[in-house]
Amino acid sequence: MHVVDVTKGSGPLVLSMPHCGMELPGDIAARLTDRGRAIDDTDWWIHKLYDFAGELDATTVQANLSRYVIDLNRDPTGKSLYPGQATTGLCPTETFDGEALYQTGLEPSAKEIDSRKNTYFEPYHQALAAALGAAREKHGFALLYDCHSIRSVVPRLFDGPLPTVNIGTNSGVSCANKLEAAVIRACQGQSEFSHVTNGRFKGGWITRHYGQPRDDVHALQVELTQAAYMDEFPPWTFDETRADRLRALLRIMLRAFGDTARELYS
């Protein structure tokens, strides 16, 4: 099964899309509940929302497998990214709403989780690391933008509705302050979409692991509420009108990220 697709650009920007995959290996799908096979917690249509990445000469690294197989944005050791808060694990056994993903007694064992790491987790991260390495070698720096989306209301994970744009920089650790500020200013320059920085979502393992400004790799995560570009419930219909309005802001954010980095390194 093909784990990851890479579309190469020649610029310093790399877009990571770890949760937009919808494929389930047959042996795993057979053990899931009906809720599990519905893959409700997919970052639906993220690849379509960011289909303008080529305009920015960006590289995209896109997962094909569902996050229910293995979560590519979790610490591979299994350590929680948000201690004390509800979250899902490396190989999830429940949905965001706390419903069982597996039929009773058919959850993955520790041995199977290790196998999934080797088979599915490593290829994605090898591709992502290679893309960032190539960008840094060519430009002297690399920019990682980790693309995510989620239902606007998930009571088990957070209180009330989320702002539309949730920027995460691991509390300012994963990218230079000037880059974070530039992206925030882009959001402040419009009034249609609400935004927050390092709120409920501070950036997952991808942002925290790869974002190393001292090594000239700057990373940020952007978690979007799905209501801004699609219907949040089955059949998860993509809305081009809403999406185009959101894309206008995303273009500004990404250009601010890239232009400010070029100034920083000029």
Q: Which residue has the tokens 């009906």?
A: 34
Q: What percent of the chain has pLDDT over 70?
A: 100
Looking at residue 5, its pLDDT comes to 98
Q: Which domain holds residue 76?
A: 4-265
What average pLDDT score do residues 157-185 get?
97
Looking at residue 82, its pLDDT comes to 77
pLDDT per residue over 245-258, tens digit each?
Answer: 999 999 999 999 99
Looking at residue 192, its pLDDT comes to 96
Q: What percent of the chain has pLDDT over 90?
A: 94
Q: How many CA atoms lie within 13 A of 135 on its CB side?
A: 29
- Is the whole-model pTM more than 0.85? yes
**Which CATH number characterizes residue 39's domain?**
3.40.630.40
pLDDT per residue over 238-247, tens digit each?
Answer: 999 999 999 9
Looking at residue 76, its pLDDT comes to 94
Q: Is the pLDDT of residue 107 over 90?
A: yes
Least-confidence region, from 75-79, 81-85, 155-159: 81-85
Total domains in the chain come to 1
Q: Is the pLDDT of residue 233 over 80?
A: yes
pLDDT per residue over 16-33, tens digit each?
Answer: 999 999 999 999 999 999
How far is Cα 11 from Cα 57, in angstroms, rounded to an integer? 5
Q: How many CA atoms lie within 13 A of 41 on its CB side?
A: 23
Looking at residue 83, its pLDDT comes to 74
In what order do the strands lie in the sheet containing 13-17? 4-7, 59-63, 13-17, 142-150, 217-225, 165-168, 195-197
Q: Is the pLDDT of residue 171 over 90?
A: yes
How far is Cα 173 from Cα 208, in angstroms, rounded to an integer? 8
Looking at residue 1, its pLDDT comes to 73
Q: Do strands 4-7 and 59-63 pair parallel, antiparallel, or not at all (unpaired)? A: antiparallel
How high is the mean pLDDT of the chain?
A: 96
Least-confidence region, from 79-83, 105-109, 203-207: 79-83
Looking at residue 254, its pLDDT comes to 98
Q: Is the pLDDT of residue 58 over 90?
A: yes
What average pLDDT score do residues 74-100 get?
87
Give whole-number Cα distances, 131 to 11, 177, 205, in Å: 10, 23, 17
How far is Cα 143 from Cα 16, in angstroms, rounded to an integer? 10
Looking at residue 78, its pLDDT comes to 83
